[in-house]
């Protein structure tokens, strides 16, 4: 249940960030115009391409979060020897 909550929360946050980025693309282009002293024209085609790239990046981030949350396996923290294995190794050394 916790894994689903993490996934849905991540999807919600990424969706909100995606909307915020899509709305502010014109502001970013204005900042670039001021920084470089050039007039960058943003047509509808380029606006759609930028929004599509942002959407693909968001989908890939959600895919990574899904893979990490649902397919995470416990790491092996060390080798646990049975008591008889320890006795045999001590007898072989000694």
Instruction: Assess contact for 40 and 32: CB atoms under 8 A.
Output: yes
Return d(Cα 9, Cα 54) in angstroms, integer.
19
- For position 2, what pLDDT does the model report? 80
Both structure tokens of 27: 């502001």
40-79 exposure pattern, b = at least 16 Cβ within 10 A, e = fewer: eeeeeeeeeebeeebeeebeebeeebeeeeeeeeeeeeee
pLDDT in tens, 58-68: 999 999 988 88
Stretches where the chain sits below pLDDT 70 are: 72-94
- For the chain, what are the domain ranges? 2-70
């Amino acid at each position: 249940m916790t894994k689903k909550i993490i996934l849905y929360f991540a999807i919600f946050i990424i969706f909100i960030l995606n909307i915020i980025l899509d709305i502010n693309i014109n502001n970013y282009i204005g900042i670039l115009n001021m920084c470089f002293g050039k007039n960058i024209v943003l047509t509808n085609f380029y606006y759609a391409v930028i929004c599509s790239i942002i959407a693909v990046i968001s989908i890939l981030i959600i895919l990574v979060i899904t893979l990490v949350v649902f397919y995470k396996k416990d790491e092996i923290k060390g080798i646990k020897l049975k008591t008889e294995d320890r006795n045999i190794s001590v007898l072989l050394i000694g």
